[in-house]
Amino acid sequence: MDGLESAAVTTLEQPDAGSSQDSPGPETTLAPKRPLRELGINLNHWYVAAQSKELGTEPLAVTLWHQPIVLYRDRAGTPIAVEDRCPHRQVKLSEGTVVGDNLICAYHGWQFAPDGTCAHVPYLEPQQKLPTCTLRQYPVKEQDGFIWIFPGEAPLTEQVAPLPVPEWEHLNFIGSVATIDVQAHYSFLIENLMDMYHGHLHQDLQAWTQPVLRSLESSDTRVDAHYDAQSYYRINKIWSVSQLFIPALRQLHPEPLDVSYVYPNWVATLGQDFKICCLFCPVDEAHTRAYLLHFTSLQAFHRLHKLPVGFRRWIKNRLFNAAQPLLDGLVVQDVLMLEQEQQSFEQYPDRKGPELNRALVDVQRLIRKQAAMDPQR
């Protein structure tokens, strides 16, 4: 703690200092009072499952909120997602192979078409018919470099969309990706991401300091927290990167730091130069996978925009993942804290500390609202 929290709370309505990590509030009428750290997810959203480049014609196993799913690409390159369980003997289809457009179980070689129907049994006798057992098929989309799955009610598929990440393809943004695989409930991760006061943990690994929560907006689908921060990095002054490693050189200037929980994902911007997203794939109550995306804007380099597109594409590709070591360093620090929070919750579920960041009270409220909409709750 460095006193920044007290600066924030004096500018805002003081939350109940005795409020817990599972803050009481009006949301308690919307869902049974289960511990926040045991709540499910709202399945009626698109969840990231993999990076596009991770998916080929080999089966890829993923788990999305207790549901084992196998992904693969058909001959046209279209992603297919079906349940990862052979209806014959309940083994994992991801142990099998893909031939043509069909997924073949490793055990007896039954084949399943992309729509989940059984397409072939190698030893079917002449008088026997193909079994009618059908795999559950999941709506799947490929967008902005990622594969997205909709695990909810099929009629609602088009009512929501995967989080747009246009910077992934845009020539003026350099992207980097880190993966997060943390043995903790997803609420611990989103609270970490929305709480800029935890910058205390990262010290020399981030381009800003001294955050102060200025305002907060919340709805049934998102929480937007606006912090004022001090940045010591200017993208068009390449030398300023040295300030990251040599604190004595730091020259601060104010920058807005906006962070948003756009359920179920997270988006943040620091001024005009940086955007970071976190795409969530909650695995179960104590395991969360996510992709952390960092984009550096090249908008300030006006001369660059006049160069041939092919060259700009080359620069973008060449610099891809330049920030990954930095992201990995942040993730290691965060994962250590998140897993300790989870372990502490499991050991002492009633032990709760005061929450002084008002943004987190709204984040917890949103988690409860969305979990209450879970159709399989």
Site for Fe ion, rule CB under 5 A: 334
Contact between 110 and ligand FES per CB under 6 A: yes
Question: Which CB sits closer to ligand FES, 84 or 191?
Answer: 84
Copy the structure tokens of residue 197: 């006061």
Could you say which of ligand FES, Fe ion, none residue 200 binds, taking C-beta under 5 to 8 angstroms by partner kind? none
Question: Which CB sits closer to Fe ion, 334 or 355?
Answer: 334
Residue 270, amino acid: L
DSSP-assigned letter for residue 360:
H
Q: Which of residues 49, 105, 140, 163 is near ligand FES by CB under 6 A?
A: 105
Q: Which of residues 197-236 bind ligand FES (CB under 6 A)?
A: none
Per-residue contact string for residues 71-100; x = within reach of ligand FES by CB under 6 A: ---------------x-xx-x---------
Closest approach of Cβ 121 to ligand FES, in Å? 8
Answer whether the bond into residue 151 is a cis peptide, omega within 30°: no
Question: Which CB sits closer to ligand FES, 103 or 178?
Answer: 103
Contact between 66 and ligand FES per CB under 6 A: no
Closest approach of Cβ 205 to Fe ion, in Å? 9
Closest approach of Cβ 334 to Fe ion, in Å? 4
Q: For helices 358-372 and 186-194, what crossing angle results, to 10°?
A: 140
Region from 102-110, 130-138, 201-209, 307-315 binding ligand FES, contact rule CB under 6 A? 102-110
The CA–CA distances, whole Å, from 300 to 210, 236, 305 equal: 25, 6, 9
Answer whether the bond into residue 254 is a cis peptide, omega within 30°: no
**Considering only CA atoms, which of 145, 205, 181 is closest in space to residue 289?**
181
- For 305, how many CA atoms within 13 A lie in the half-sphere containing its CB? 9
Stretch (H or E) spanning 294: strand 287-297
Number of other CB atoms surrounding residue 338 within 10 Å: 22
Could you say which of ligand FES, Fe ion, none residue 108 binds, taking C-beta under 5 to 8 angstroms by partner kind? ligand FES
Region from 101-109, 127-135, 178-186, 344-352 binding ligand FES, contact rule CB under 6 A? 101-109
Copy the structure tokens of residue 117: 């129907």
**CA gap 336, 328 in Å, rounded:** 12
Question: Which CB sits closer to ligand FES, 75 or 108?
Answer: 108
Question: Which CB sits closer to ligand FES, 112 or 173?
Answer: 112
What residue number has its CB nearest to Fe ion? 334
Dihedral, CA of residue 179, residue 183, residue 185 and residue 188, to nearest 10: -70
How many helices and strands (H and E) does the chain possess?
7, 17
Residues in contact with ligand FES by the rule CB under 6 A: 86, 88-89, 91, 105, 107-108, 110
